[in-house]
Chains A and B, each alone.
Chain A
Amino acid sequence: MAKEKKDIISRRSIIKAGVGLGALGLSSKSLLAKEANNKNLPPNVPEWTETLGDGVDVNPYGMPTEFESNVIRRNVEWLTASTESSVNFTPLQDLEGIVTPNGLCFERHHGGTAIINPVDYRLMINGLVDREMIFTLDDLKRFPQVNKFYFLECAANGGMEWKGSQLNGCQYTFGMVHNVQYTGVKLSDLIQETGLKNNAKWVLAEGSDSSGMTRSIPIEKIKDDCIIAWAMNGEALRPEQGYPIRLVVPGWEGNMWVKWLRRIEFGDKPYMTREETSKYTDLLSDGKARMFTWVMDTKSVITSPCPEKPVLQKGIHQIRGLAWSGRGKIKRVDVSLDGGKNWKTAQLHSPVLEKSLTRFTIPFEWNGEEMLLQSRAIDETNYVQPTIKELQNIRGVNSIYHNNSIATWLISKNGKVDNVRLG
């Protein structure tokens, strides 16, 4: 793959067959039945009953059991030139509910994870404000706080699938999304402290990591619901998620949620940073590119069964999945077992929150025949998740970003599940 010079967001084509590492591993390994130890099964008394376990001083910070050690973020080595400017993926196929555990939230950064001692942290607000100011972390925590669940999705999630099915996994095709509860201060409250000039129309958010990540955000969004967050799921941000402070831009593409946030500048025009010109612009087939495509459109995925979660036996199973929309709440999710010819409406599980992952389930019976599983989300604006063909007809196949199309999982007669493209 060395001859490929592209990075993840300019990856352009389906990789030729025969190159790479073999796609069968995850699912074929999962198919192997794990043998139980009869000594632990009734009527015998299992070994963990007959002995004492660890005391309360063994795990001051608890970690998942060793038996779940396969539930990890994974990366695709050939996507990028270096792991410091790269991405890994959330293992959606192994998660339940709507909360992504902090250690499993996908990482995307452009200069590695910055390590910041919170006593050295400063947030600067400058530009078209009445007072240019600097806040410490303790300062920020003195403001009124909000606690909100939001999904964060990279605009390139599914970007490798524009031309065809390329990666055989739920994790690799949908895993650039996570959903946590953020704690922080609303930017609209911070603005009250600095004041704002009348001609302040745009914000530049800037990270303090080695990439100095910058994005322009319109003032309306800043005043609406953006948050300066210091906590996720009840604890401090993880280093790889921007500790001690990240920007939260609900419903908009993840690249704008600047991590290790050091500066917010108010201006009267957009700044046209590298990330909003040469990247995160959507190239159409005529060579023109859409710019400032911020909102993440309605999307859904079946997280089980999926390529990593084959169907191990005949009979009743539960289809599980996630749906989300950058425009509001999920209203409905339909599921098809026959490639989109017929649909049934799935059950949504509470809480159904705006701009948050929403869990859906629906039972199905597998009798050993082939099935083509699809899910299709509808949000409260009545937007219906499209097929890839609909998107391709409008945008071509070079767009990379904002692929929110319906995916298809093929269940084969042996129970294996594949990422396939229909046409």
Chain B
Amino acid sequence: MLDLGKYIIFSLLSIFFSISSFSETRKFNIGKIATKQEVAGWDIDIRPDGLGAPKGSGDALSGEEVYAERCASCHGDFGEGIDRWPELVGGSGTLSSHDPVKTTGSYWPYASTIYDYVYRSMPFGEAQSLTYDETYKIVAYLLNMNDIIDEDFILSNENIGKIKMPNRNGFLLPDPRPDVKNLNGNPCMKNCNTPTKIIGKARDIDVTPEDEKS
């Protein structure tokens, strides 16, 4: 018993030391400690619950002007998308159709994602040039255009985590794959019952790029 007791104490000590060496000491002593200021400058992400949302606010009424100036040249005055640039508004009820239209309104499950994405990477080619307030205004404008909030609703860091998006429950977890029939590594090898009639040729669709004639 005594030996066993010693063993247990020894084991507990080892566990303690291995945990502490993992979490409290640096194994390689490489790199430098980041200052709060350094982290603040780069830590721009926002989570669905609003964690990380910077102080600021804006409504759709004031957002229309910012949107027109900074977004509309690609996305259209009403978020309809110009040329092949993404449409941002509409698409409600299309997700189960043959032509699903996935917009911020019809598809995006969280308002936080719109803020996060617009701030970090928009306008295209002028990333992180919007102010926090401008970003809230643009997001408010998009939410309003998608009939999610009223035009005078003041979107802010306080409430962006509480916006209920229409497709919030449209996503399935966890990943069910492998989702095809389990053949356990032994598929048919001879005289298999499979259709071999040609029902389509890419050549007939005729959209494959052709190398320039030299």
Interface set of A (CB-CB < 8 Å, partner B): 1-2, 4-7, 10, 12-15, 17-26, 29, 70, 74-78, 80-82, 84-85, 110-111, 124-127, 130-136, 139, 142-143, 164-169, 172-173, 189, 192-193, 195-196, 204, 206, 210-212, 214, 262-263, 265, 267, 269, 271-274, 277-278, 281, 283-295, 297, 307, 331-332, 334, 338-343, 372, 376, 378, 382-384, 386-387, 390-391, 394-395, 398, 402, 410, 418-423
Contacts and interface: CB of A to CB of B under 8 A. Distances in A.
A210 to B, nearest CB: 5
Contacts of A173: 202
Interface string B172-214: 1111111111111111111110111111111111111111000
Contact of A23 (B117, B179, B199, B206): B206
A265 B46 CA distance: 12
Interface in B75-108: 81-87, 95-96, 98-100, 102, 104, 107-108
A291 B207 contact: no
Given A286-B96, A410-B201, A419-B203, 18 more contacts: A5-B86, A12-B99, A14-B205, A20-B205, A76-B209, A132-B34, A288-B171, A294-B175, A297-B177, A340-B194, A343-B189, A378-B185, A382-B182, A382-B184, A382-B185, A387-B194, A423-B197, A423-B200
B49 interface: yes
Contacts of A265: 43, 45
Nearest to B181: A390
Contacts of B82: 5
B84 A17 contact: no
A278 B28 contact: no
B113 A272 contact: yes
A110 B121 contact: yes
Interface of B: 22-24, 26-34, 38-39, 42-45, 47-49, 74, 81-87, 95-96, 98-100, 102, 104, 107-110, 112-113, 116-117, 120-121, 124-125, 127-128, 170-192, 194-211
B25 to A, nearest CB: 8
Residue from B104, B190, B195 with most neighbouring chain A CB atoms (10 Å): B195
- Looking at chain A's contact residues, the main secondary structure is loop
B205 A342 contact: no
Interface SS, B side: loop
B131 to A, nearest CB: 17
B42 A269 contact: no
B76 to A, nearest CB: 9
Given A20-B208, A21-B210, A13 B99 contact: yes
B91 to A, nearest CB: 11
Contacts of B208: 20-23, 25-26, 76, 167-169, 172
A422 B197 contact: yes
B203 A24 contact: yes
Contact of A269 (B49, B192, B206): B49
